[in-house]
A and B are shown apart, each in its own frame.
Chain A
Amino acid sequence: MRNNRPSVQSLLLIFLIAFLGIAATQALFSDVERSQKGVFVVGTLDLAVKGKGGGAAESIIVDNIGADDALAGGKTWVINNVGSLPGKLLVGMANLNNLENSCNEPEALQDQTCGDPGENEGELGKNVLVTFVMRQGNQEEALINMNLAVGADASLSQLWQQRPTPIVVPAGESLELTMNWDTKDSAYANEVQGDSVTFDLLFELEQITGGN
């Protein structure tokens, strides 16, 4: 029967080699400096949204969609990361409401819903194509295409979260974000007259953790 127990000589040899290895690599000189004012500082994440010219950010307000000079448009905002940490930009939408705002005669001939305000009875939102475009330095990218139909506010957040690569705003830097709206290619008629779509836009800068 074979003896699997290590011999005493082998163990002694291992200890000896380990001792020599430690001794050979030990730093003989050492020095210690102790900081008396060591402070841990938590970074800041601070988002500022401005208008393109640096003024206060303005909401999109258009009240004559359908006229030949009001079929498309857009608004640009500057997203500033004024904190000390890089952040991931998320854009969302809330309180989206498609309003009917009653019907005039031409609309009533085509539209079966004529509530006033007629919450979510309006037909304008589904005929408005929205595109978000980002400009960061020389880079320009169309990010999301969607319409403003009922439920689009939830869709925007999902679409933004599903982007394969996050949009990172480094500390102290900024990017331009444009929301374009377009009705030229939509097949609408009098059922849209006087309808409106209202919504809040949410801009969020989120701390980057663990590589995402």
Chain B
Amino acid sequence: MKHEKRSWLRIGLFVFLLAVVLARATDADLSDLEILPANSLKATTLDFANQETATGQNKSLLFSLAGLIPGGFQVESVRISNQGKMAFTYQTFVEQTAGNSELCVALNLKVLRNWQSIYDGPLLGLALSSELSEASSEDLVLALSLPAGSGLANNTCGFSLKFKTFDETGLVKFSDEEILQSQVSTGSF
């Protein structure tokens, strides 16, 4: 009988302590909440395209010329259009992709940017840089010629005119590159 009373006393004490603990854990505290909504971090874009100067269509081929003769030339054009949201600097250079290096070395290229001459020399020696601001474009007119007196009949030269962005600071991690393919062959003369 005495043990039974002690048990009930212990149970009662346990229930009391449990109630105290639960009340402590579920008590209502004061608080205030402020919300700063719609924070936004967005990356910019770096993108340009080679376009036909006449139609604005994307362009991937530049010269496609068969039967070139010494003293002959062909003129093509391309519009470099900044389609991203940041200004960038780009380099222009030529890489041979096929054919005889003799013909590629002999070919001459003249480049006009916005109707101003900026290069006149060997095709493979082309090295230009230019800056293009946001939402702008520039037009290049290119004249490819085989100098008079060149004795390179029945030769071919395939080359890529490459436009590649670069960043002198090394901080900008976005980049873009566009390529115009060309194929030139000389005839029998």
Point out residues on A near B: beta carbons under 8 Å. 43-49, 57, 59-68, 70-71, 77, 83, 85, 87, 94, 101, 104-107, 124-125, 128, 148, 181, 184, 188-190, 192-207, 209-210
Main secondary structure of the interface of A (DSSP, over half): mixed
Residues of B within 8 A of A189 (CB): 173-175
Q: Nearest B residue to A104 by beta-carbon distance?
A: B47
The interface size of chain B toward A, counting residues with CB under 8 Å, comes to 34
Complex Cα gap A120–B85 (Å) = 23
Say yes or no: A66 contacts B172, CB within 8 Å: yes
Question: CB < 8 Å: which of A70, A148, A194 contacts B45?
Answer: A194
Say yes or no: B43 contacts A65, CB within 8 Å: yes
Name 9 extra pairs, CB < 8 A, besides A124-B42, A198-B39: A47-B33, A47-B34, A61-B39, A64-B42, A87-B31, A106-B47, A196-B41, A204-B34, A205-B31
The minimal Cβ–Cβ distance linking A170 to chain B, given in whole angstroms, is 15
Residues of B within 8 A of A66 (CB): 43-44, 46, 86, 172-174
Question: CB < 8 Å: which of A71, A104, A197, A207 contacts B84?
Answer: A104
Residues of A within 8 A of B43 (CB): 64-66, 124, 192-196
Residues of A within 8 A of B46 (CB): 66, 106, 190, 193
Main secondary structure of the interface of B (DSSP, over half): loop
Complex Cα gap A189–B165 (Å) = 13
Let me know if B38 is at the binding interface, CB within 8 A. Answer: yes
Say yes or no: B171 contacts A200, CB within 8 Å: no
| 23 A-B residue pairs with CB within 8 Å | A48-B34, A49-B34, A57-B36, A59-B36, A59-B38, A62-B41, A63-B44, A64-B42, A66-B174, A67-B44, A68-B167, A71-B171, A104-B45, A104-B84, A106-B176, A193-B45, A194-B43, A197-B42, A200-B38, A201-B36, A203-B33, A204-B34, A207-B31
